[in-house]
Amino acid sequence: DAGVIQSPRHEVTEMGQEVTLRCKPISGHNSLFWYRQTMMRGLELLIYFNNNVPIDDSGMPEDRFSAKMPNASFSTLKIQPSEPRDSAVYFCASRLDRLYEQYFGPGTRLTVT
Amino acid sequence: QKEVEQNSGPLSVPEGAIASLNCTYSDRGSQSFFWYRQYSGKSPELIMSIYSNGDKEDGRFTAQLNKASQYVSLLIRDSQPSDSATYLCAVISGGYQKVTFGIGTKLQVIP
């Protein structure tokens, strides 16, 4: 299996621009997670999908952030407009069942100038 | 109080020693517990999972769970420089089976 796939791996953009991060979970996994990691705050859960339905989006910082999962093999995280404080590494992870371990993608390093 | 607490370290141990990493959690109903290793610039990688009280061993790694005291620990025997990384504790709890990570403990194994 190819594992969780994320794109792009690096993104540099200017403040105010729209940013779209993409994720392909492991085939057969029914849960998908988006995380943000910074030195100060560690790994923060942004949103969690189960069977393509958003279950918990309480970690989404504000309305500038949105996430979709149109089908079982694809998800996007969009930031519009982006701000310098959004600079972080964004990870996508997937899991087979509710109590099982998650598998992480390689992450997208976002820099907003 | 944070839901999952870890000492951020760094924890320094000499090569060949036992490294002991600890994690406490606040939700008594938590059901599943994991340890992830994260090398600098890389994504977290699962190294241990534990679901019931007691010890679970896998090679040089032993995970320990005590639900009454609400703590999880990870022991690394015969520590190697290649074990130098940040170790993240993760806990699943709640009706939505939410996963919460600790801040991570940075481990440094000194040759």
Please report the DSSP string for chain A in residue order. ----EEE-SEEEE-TT--EEEEEEPPTT--EEEEEEEETTTEEEEEEEEETTEEEE-TT--STTEEEEEEETTEEEEEESS--GGG-EEEEEEEESSTTSPEEE---EEEEE-
Of the candidate ranges A58-62, B66-70, B96-100, the one whose mean pLDDT is the lowest: B96-100
User: Which residue did the predictor score with more confidence, A69 or B97?
Assistant: A69
B100 interaction partners in chain A (CB closer than 8 Å): 45
Instruction: With a cut of 80, say whether residue B110 has pLDDT above it.
Output: yes
A91 interaction partners in chain B (CB closer than 8 Å): 43-44
pLDDT band, very low/low/confident/very high, at B95 (cuts 50, 70, 90): confident
pLDDT band, very low/low/confident/very high, at B36 (cuts 50, 70, 90): very high
Q: What is the pLDDT of residues A65-110, one digit of tens each?
A: 999 999 999 999 999 999 999 999 999 999 987 667 899 999 999 9
Q: What is the pLDDT of residues A17-74, one digit of tens each?
A: 999 999 999 999 999 999 999 988 889 999 999 999 999 898 898 899 999 999 999 9
Query: What does DSSP say about strands B11-14 and B105-110: parallel, antiparallel, or unpaired?
Result: parallel
As a whole number of angstroms, the distance between CA B55 and CA A110 comes to 39
Mean pLDDT (chain B) is 93
Chain A with chain B: Cβ pairs closer than 8 A: 46
pLDDT band, very low/low/confident/very high, at B8 (cuts 50, 70, 90): confident
What is the reported pLDDT for B34?
Answer: 95
- Which residues, at least 6 apart from B43, have a Cβ–Cβ distance to it below 8 Å? A91, A104, A105, A106, A107
Q: Do A110 and A6 form a contact (C-beta atoms < 8 A)? A: no
- Mean pLDDT, residues B28-38 taken together: 93
Q: What is the pLDDT of residues B39-52, one digit of tens each?
A: 999 999 999 999 99
- Mean pLDDT, residues B75-96 taken together: 93
Q: Is A13 exposed, middle or buried (0-12, 13-18, 19+ CB in 10 A)?
A: middle
The owner of tokens 């074990």 is B83
B99 interaction partners in chain A (CB closer than 8 Å): 33, 45, 48, 102
As a whole number of angstroms, the distance between CA A53 and CA B73 comes to 34
